[in-house]
């Protein structure tokens, strides 16, 4: 039960950081309209209708939250050994799930979320003037890289052992000697 509480707390933290950054950047860009709590999660809405959005500003509004949450994940990843050896166990459990979720959720959102809902990848693509598939492809590569870092480094630091096939190191990715 403690593990579920840590996971839920890290998920809420990740969502609040992600949507909070959307709100902050949108407010700075003069685009913030409202913050909503929906059945599927948190959502920031903007003043400009989707059909009228274009330009680099939208890449920042849509993409900055993703970039910053992934960056936070990398900072936590760099501190993984310190977090793994910390006491009390609440900090250790929350730190573990924060590393995993901050490193995986936004790349997953950008890479695959667009197939389910519109999402940030389209805003980034529109803002940069590129195909959404470019944004999704880069995000998928980041997702796979982060997954490998978690399986090889975070699991080792936190002494996580599993036989689940999704959480095994990729055989074709060699570990540097």
- Across-strand partners of 121? none
pLDDT of residue 84: 94
Backbone angles phi, psi at 24, to 5 degrees: -65, -50
Q: State which residues form the domain around 93.
A: 2-167
Quick one: pLDDT band at residue 176, thresholds 50, 70, 90? Answer: low
In a domain, 100, yes or no: yes
Quick one: pLDDT band at residue 140, thresholds 50, 70, 90? Answer: very high
Quick one: average pLDDT of 51-62?
A: 82
pLDDT of residue 173: 59
Phi-psi region of 33 (alpha: psi -120 to 50; beta: other; left: phi over 0): alpha
Alpha carbons 95 and 151: distance in angstroms, whole number: 16
In a domain, 79, yes or no: yes
Quick one: pLDDT band at residue 50, thresholds 50, 70, 90? Answer: low
- Mind listing the pLDDT tens digit for each residue in 78-114? 999 999 998 788 889 999 999 999 999 999 999 998 8
Instruction: Compute the C-alpha angle 50/51/55, nearest 5°.
Output: 80
Long-range CB contacts for residues 164-170, cutoff 8 Å, separation at least 24? none
Quick one: pLDDT band at residue 17, thresholds 50, 70, 90? Answer: very high
Quick one: pLDDT band at residue 131, thresholds 50, 70, 90? Answer: very high
Alpha carbons 75 and 85: distance in angstroms, whole number: 16
pTM of the model: 0.88
Please tell me the total count of domains within the chain: 1
| 175 pLDDT more than 70 | no
In a domain, 173, yes or no: no
In a domain, 177, yes or no: no
In a domain, 172, yes or no: no
DSSP the chain: -HHHHHHHHHHHHHHHHHHHHHHHHHHHTT-EEEEEEETTEEEEEESS-GGG--SHHHHHHHHHHHHHHHHHHHHHHHTHHHHHT-SSHHHHHHHHHHHHHHHHHHHHHHHHHHHHS-HHHHHHHHHHTS-HHHHHHHHHHHHHHHHHHIIIIIHHHTT-----GGGS--TTSPPP-
């Amino acid at each position: 039960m403690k593990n579920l509480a840590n996971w839920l707390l890290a998920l809420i933290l990740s969502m609040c950081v992600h949507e909070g950054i959307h709100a902050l950047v949108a407010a700075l860009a003069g685009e913030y309209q409202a913050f909503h709590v929906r059945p599927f999660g948190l959502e920031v809405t903007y003043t400009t209708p989707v059909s009228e959005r274009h330009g680099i500003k939208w890449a920042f509004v849509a993409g900055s939250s993703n970039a910053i949450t992934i960056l936070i994940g990398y900072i936590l990843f760099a501190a993984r050994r310190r977090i793994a050896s910390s006491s009390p166990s609440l900090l250790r459990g929350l730190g573990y799930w924060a590393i995993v979720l901050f490193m995986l959720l936004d790349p997953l959102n950008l890479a695959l979320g667009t197939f389910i809902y519109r999402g940030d990848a389209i805003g980034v693509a529109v803002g940069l003037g590129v195909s959404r598939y470019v944004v999704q492809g880069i995000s998928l590569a980041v997702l796979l890289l982060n997954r490998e870092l978690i399986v090889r480094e975070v699991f080792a630091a936190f002494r996580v052992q599993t036989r689940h096939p999704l959480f095994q190191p990729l055989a074709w990715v060699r570990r540097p000697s």
